[in-house]
Chain A
Amino acid sequence: MSRPLLSLYRLDRDKLQELSNKLRELLARDDRAAISALLGLGEELARRLAAERWAVGLMLRPDEDPQASPIFASMRRVAKRAALEHVWTSESPALEGRLRAYDVLRDEPDIADAIDRLLDPVRLPWFLQRPGGTGGWLGDDQRETLAKRLDGLGPALPDEVNAFVEALGGMEGDALVHDRL
Chain B
Amino acid sequence: MLPVGFFDRAKAVFGLQKDTPASDSDAAARAERSDGRKNKPGRPPLPEVSGAASATIEDVLTARAAGSLDEARAILAAIDKGQGLRTVLRAAAALQAGDEDDVTKLLPLVQKDSPAWQLRLQVAAALEKGPERDALVRRAVKLGAPAWSIAWLRALSSDEEERRAGLVDLLFEDAALARTVAARDLAIADIKVDNEAVRRYAAFAHGRDVIRRFGVAHVVALLGRVDERSA
Q: List chain A positions with a Cβ less than 8 A from chain B.
A: 20, 24, 27-28, 30, 53-54, 56-57, 59-62, 65, 67, 125-126, 129
Contact = CB atoms under 8 A, between A and B. Distances in A.
B168 A24 contact: yes
Contacts of B72: none
A55 to B, nearest CB: 9
Contacts of B171: 27, 56, 59-60, 126
Contacts, number: 42
B19 interface: no
Given A61-B191, A62-B192, A126 B164 contact: no
A126 B172 contact: yes
Interface of A is mostly: loop
B172 A57 contact: no
Contact of B175 (A27, A28, A57, A126): A126
A67 B168 contact: no
Range of interface residues on chain B?
10 to 19
Contacts of A62: 191-192
Contacts of A53: 188
B74 interface: no
B165 interface: yes
Interface in B144-168: 164-165, 167-168
A28 B164 contact: yes
A30 B191 contact: no
Contacts of B172: 20, 24, 125-126
Interface string B182-199: 100000111110000000
13 contacts: A27-B171, A28-B164, A30-B164, A53-B188, A56-B168, A56-B171, A57-B188, A60-B167, A60-B171, A60-B182, A60-B188, A61-B190, A126-B171
Given A126-B175, A129-B175, A57 B168 contact: no
B191 A60 contact: yes
B179 interface: yes
Contact of A27 (B168, B179, B190, B191): B168
Nearest to B181: A60
